[in-house]
Amino acid sequence: MPLDNYLTLGRSGLRVSPFALGAMTFGEDPGAAGSSVEESEKVLGTYLDRGGNFVDTANFYTNGHSERILGDWFAAHPGQREHVVVASKFFCNMFPGDPNGGGAGRGSIVAQLHETLRRLNTDYLDLYWLHNWTGTPRSRKRCVPSTTWCVPERSATSACPTFRHG
């Protein structure tokens, strides 16, 4: 299937490739399986050259190195960011020593978003989602369907429920 046979992502209105490029192995982190910056950039370039436009990463993939590689690549290729749908995820605690530094609490989501945007060298994400369900009632109360608590340029509407039925 060609990568430029774009589909609409749910009700978002975003047009994306039928296959997203998962950047989980972009970057080298001790103890994690990963690829070098050069290898990661080659994979990304090939994917985009073949018409792909949907890249997925997360704040904890190779301890944030995946997001940094993508951010550095976009900085080195001006104008490309606007043509790529970038998705990232939050959940894992990226703030050692802070027991509330991860999860789906409001403060944690905001802190993780700011760090993700910094690493990606961008001022917006196209898709930002919860990586793991916490299973705690706190998550249900603290996740909200609309991220209106962010500055307007960074707000979005969630397409996922804030709780699990059953």
Which residues belong to the active site? 61
Determine whether 83 is exposed, middle or buried from the number of CB atoms within 10 Å of its CB (0-12, 13-18, 19+). Answer: exposed
Rg (CA), the chain: 16
Q: Where are the alpha helices (DSSP H) in the chain?
A: 37-49, 65-76, 106-120, 137-142
**Nearest residue to 70 (alpha-carbon basis) of 91, 161, 81:** 81
Is the separation of the CB atoms in 66 and 57 below 8 Å? Answer: yes
Distance, CA of 125 to chain centre: 7
d(CA 60, CA 15): 26
